[in-house]
């Protein structure tokens, strides 16, 4: 999750002269010569298995006014339902305190201030749209009155007005963690056990008995409240202990880091010795957004920068996986915010940006599959001006899904856990090169070939002879806000459009 403070992009964009110069040099060299421009033949060895996939492509839905109360509300949840996605991450988030916090005031004067009216409606829409599929719930925002601030932190009366300064304080007022832990236990009980008993002994009836298979504990604690790993681990243990009493079958996901560049966070949290006995380390999560290296970077250079940033992130994922396997091999990993960002002030957004961003997500999904990550979540279903428009999967003006959505849907429909990745060669490369990704799968539905064009130019490929007559589905710069185009190969050659994500269903 990213912040929309006036200096928000300073948190994410690295203003580094050497890096900017290097990126520009790579860009110019790539324009000068691209050895992969030559036409070559792609070779698949179906009997040579590389690995089994355990990766699920999915997305996150962040609560905001456009999701709740807007002309695109119905289209948004129809689009979510049509995805048939598992592990859908839902995050009510602090910029809208009334949409994210169930108890905005502490108990006082013999009464409590629990209020779920605004929280319930989107939760209900989510659970209906994902019926039959798993969800990951993250009510990430703790009531600010639970933190030491030295002053009263106000929030807007209008639930649809942002309150970016709501998350304040770095130290909990109740250092035993009981206050924050029971808050989340009651919140979970509201949604899974029909209600809860409040701090004063009064029962609040909800009538909700949802099955919540996964719950993520807080969001980006390395940014929100600037929580140290030691404090976060104590909070995680306290919260999970109380919530397990309410819903023993729910699995819990920890960390949800904004930045993956602090190995000490992973070393500490994933070490069972730093947790209370019987507190499970069931899952961890962290995030990635590819950003421009500098504000004035030419738009056409993003095709290189975004993938360069992705490769840097993937190197860190491999390192983190070594830590996880050493300390907590039973713990699963979800990278549940994956996206690209131009910059909050960059409007209008060029049409081909959505295809570039979709191609980057497809690339990340493929590489995370090869690493063995369990969940790859695209961020996010609905964004709009002032709320990260460049990460949206829905056109906020008309409710139509854009190319980022259609890429995700194509991947969900084509690939999943249990697929066999087999040897796929193109020239002297295995599985990908600087300008393109290529990977063959043996799925439950048959043989599939994933092709990703990472550049803003066409690319012609000669496929194996068996590809003749195969069904091809592509999302590219020609498809716009429409579903993938489907064609049947007349021969064994294919021309990939710029930023194309293509799945070939071989017979």
Is the same domain home to 334 and 409? yes
**Residue 430 pLDDT:** 78
Q: What CATH number is given to the structural domain containing 362? A: 3.20.20.80
Q: What is the average per-residue pLDDT within 372-397?
A: 95
Q: What is the average per-residue pLDDT within 396-423?
A: 97
Is the same domain home to 403 and 475? no
Share of the chain above pLDDT 90, in %: 84
Residue 442 lies in a domain: yes
Share of the chain above pLDDT 70, in %: 91
Q: State pLDDT tens for residues 237-258.
A: 999 999 999 999 999 999 999 9
ω into 348 cis (within 30 of 0) = yes
**Residue 10 pLDDT:** 37
Per the model's pLDDT, the better-predicted residue between 200 and 344 turns out to be 200
Residue 102 has pLDDT above 70, yes or no: yes
Domain range spanning residue 406?
A: 54-99+118-143+208-241+250-417
Name residues whose C-beta falls within 8 Å of residue 363's C-beta, 6 or more positions apart in sequence. 307, 310, 437, 452, 454
Residue 172 lies in a domain: no
Among 397, 417, 437, residue at a domain's last position: 417
Residue 16 lies in a domain: no
Among 374, 401, 417, residue at a domain's last position: 417
**Residue 434 pLDDT:** 83
Residue 162 lies in a domain: no
Is the same domain home to 409 and 310? yes
Name residues whose C-beta falls within 8 Å of residue 328's C-beta, 6 or more positions apart in sequence. 270, 271, 272, 281
**Residue 345 pLDDT:** 61
Is the same domain home to 387 and 443? no
ω into 238 cis (within 30 of 0) = no
Is the same domain home to 43 and 62? no
141, 164 Cβ separation under 8 angstroms: no
Residue 168 lies in a domain: no
Q: 4: pLDDT confidence band, cut at 50, 70 and 90?
A: very low
Among 363, 393, 417, residue at a domain's last position: 417
Is the same domain home to 215 and 312? yes
Is the same domain home to 430 and 335? no
Domain count, the chain: 2
Is the same domain home to 264 and 402? yes
Is the same domain home to 340 and 484? no
Tokens of 9: 């992009």
Which position has the token pair 């989510």?
A: 126
Is the same domain home to 291 and 393? yes
Per the model's pLDDT, the better-predicted residue between 349 and 8 turns out to be 349
Is the same domain home to 383 and 466? no
Q: What CATH number is given to the structural domain containing 429? A: 2.60.40.1180
Is the same domain home to 308 and 406? yes
Q: What is the average per-residue pLDDT within 502-506?
A: 97
Residue 104 lies in a domain: no
28, 310 Cβ separation under 8 angstroms: no
pTM of the model: 0.91
Q: State pLDDT tens for residues 268-303.
A: 999 999 999 999 999 999 999 999 887 667 778 899
Q: State pLDDT tens for residues 53-101.
A: 999 999 999 999 999 989 999 999 999 999 999 999 999 999 999 999 9
Write phi, then psi, for 205 (nearest 5 degrees): -90, 135
Q: State pLDDT tens for residues 29-39.
A: 444 334 444 56
């Amino acid at each position: 999750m990213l912040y929309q403070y006036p200096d928000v992009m300073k948190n994410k964009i690295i203003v580094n002269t050497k890096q900017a110069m290097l990126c520009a040099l790579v860009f110019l060299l790539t324009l000068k010569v691209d050895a992969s421009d030559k036409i070559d033949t792609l070779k698949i060895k179906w009997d040579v298995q590389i690995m089994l996939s355990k990766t699920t492509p999915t997305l996150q839905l962040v609560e905001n006014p456009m999701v709740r109360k807007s002309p695109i509300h119905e289209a948004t949840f129809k689009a979510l339902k049509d995805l048939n996605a598992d592990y859908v991450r839902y995050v009510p988030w602090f910029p809208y305190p009334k949409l994210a916090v169930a108890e905005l005031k502490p108990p006082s004067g013999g009464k409590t201030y629990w209020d779920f009216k605004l929280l319930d409606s989107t939760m209900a829409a989510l659970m209906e749209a994902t019926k039959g599929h798993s969800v990951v719930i993250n009510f990430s925002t703790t009531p600010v009155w639970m933190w030491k601030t030295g002053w009263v932190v106000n929030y807007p009366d209008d639930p649809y007005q942002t309150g970016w300064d709501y998350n304040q304080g770095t130290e909990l007022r109740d250092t035993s963690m009981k206050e924050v832990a029971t808050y989340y236990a009651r919140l979970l009980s509201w949604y899974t056990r029909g209600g809860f008993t409040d701090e004063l002994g009064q029962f609040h009836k909800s009538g909700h008995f949802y099955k919540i298979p996964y719950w993520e504990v807080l969001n980006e604690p390395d940014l929100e409240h600037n929580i140290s790993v030691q404090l976060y681990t104590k909070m995680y243990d306290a919260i999970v202990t109380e919530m397990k009493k309410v819903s023993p079958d729910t699995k819990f996901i920890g960390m949800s880091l904004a930045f993956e560049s602090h190995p000490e966070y992973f070393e500490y949290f994933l070490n069972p010795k730093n947790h209370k006995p019987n507190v499970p380390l069931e899952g961890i999560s962290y995030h990635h957004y590819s950003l421009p290296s500098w504000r004035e970077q030419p738009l056409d250079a993003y095709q290189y920068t975004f993938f360069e940033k992705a490769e840097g992130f993937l190197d860190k994922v491999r390192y983190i996986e070594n830590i996880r396997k050493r300390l907590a091999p039973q713990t699963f990993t979800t990278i549940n915010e994956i996206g690209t960002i131009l910059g909050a002030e960059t409007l209008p957004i060029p049409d081909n940006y959505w295809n570039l961003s979709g191609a980057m997500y497809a690339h990340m999904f493929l590489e995370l599959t090869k690493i063995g990550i369990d969940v790859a979540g695209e961020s996010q279903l609905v964004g709009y001006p002032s709320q990260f428009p460049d990460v949206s999967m829905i056109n906020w003006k008309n409710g139509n899904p854009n190319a980022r959505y259609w890429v995700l849907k194509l991947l969900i429909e084509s690939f999943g856990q249990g697929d066999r990745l087999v040897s796929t060669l193109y020239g002297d490369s295995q599985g990908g090169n600087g300008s393109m990704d290529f990977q063959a799968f043996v799925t439950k539905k048959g043989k599939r070939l994933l092709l990703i064009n990472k550049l803003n130019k066409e690319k012609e490929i000669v496929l194996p002879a068996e590809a003749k007559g195969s069904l091809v589905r592509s999302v590219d710069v020609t498809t716009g806000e429409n579903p993938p185009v489907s064609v049947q190969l007349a021969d064994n050659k294919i021309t990939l459009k710029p930023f194309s994500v293509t799945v070939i269903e071989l017979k």
